[in-house]
Structure 1
Amino acid sequence: MKQLADVRFRPYGIGDRERLRGMSDRLSPQSLYTRFWSGTPRIPEHYLATLAALDHWDREAMIALLDGELIGIAEYARDRARPWRADLAVLVADPWQRHGLARALVAYLAPLAERRGITGFDAEVILENRGAMGAIQHGWPAVRPVGADGAARYDLPLPIPAPTPG
């Protein structure tokens, strides 16, 4: 069983580009497809460049590290037309999927967004990504997706709801 207690969480930094590039080796073609919606064989260079330009206000990312290797990343990007909203995206290395890592990353990211005036996340999930849809449903049990064009769209209010007992 994977242990989150061994994982270190922190904001993405300028020196993390090579760690993120190396994470490609721990991602299946399916994981890359469901995150980037294309058949890319590795994490795309344009994504690495986007993260290099994080301002840690309108755009923020939290990473999960284990023994110096990047095993997960969650990010938000503020919607310029609706500055109280932000798009949410998460990517977790295959060996760590379904172990609560995505939930932990979002739990660290959400309070940062709230402190910066963001009241909710928007998430768009390709319909083949049942794992992500299940994780969203677990974190926001009252939220229902709106689906169209091969994707489920979610309106995720902040703060994240407290877990229900049971």
Structure 2
Amino acid sequence: MAFSSRISRRKAAGLLILMTAQVFCAVFFVTDVISDYQEVGVDAVAHTHLYIETLATLSLVLAILFEGNVLAKMLRRQAHLEASLNNARAAVQDIMDEQFEKWGLTPSEQDIATFLVKGFSTAEIAELRGSAEGTVKTHLNSIYRKSGSRNRTEVLSLLLDCIMVTGDKSVPTQA
């Protein structure tokens, strides 16, 4: 789960807790207002305090309904954004895989190229793959040669160009 998603979920949980407290207060006040009207009876017209209490209670109930609506919209929007982000990630991965195939990368080279795109160092890639740094360096050199690039930056640049280009997704390799 992404960091921003965790924050949004915490905010939603916080709002839900706040709304729960407000619901308990609203139940108390509604019960109190009903009780006051039953005690006062027909003389309720003369009690300004009771009208103010009723208005405050109704305002609290309306605020809870409004907050519930806002929270529901926020959660739907978050779900939509997360789905869109997942679709975008999948599309980027598809474009990278397509380009890796065009370059003729082996499965190991594709794996290492993916780690390269994610910003891992040679040592980190070696550790993640359980291989020696020399092996990773050999694969990186093969990736550079097959992609027509000289270093990580150029590989990333080629892939970014490929991702950003509309229509034709292929990127010519550098000479």
TM-score bracket, shorter-length normalisation: under 0.3
Scaled by the length of structure 1, the TM-score of the pair is 0.24
Give the structure with the higher percent helix.
2
Q: Looking at CA atoms only, which structure, 1 or 2, has the larger radius of gyration? A: 2
Give the structure with the higher percent strand.
1
Tell me which of the two structures has the higher relative contact order, counting C-alpha pairs closer than 8 angstroms and 6 or more residues apart. 1
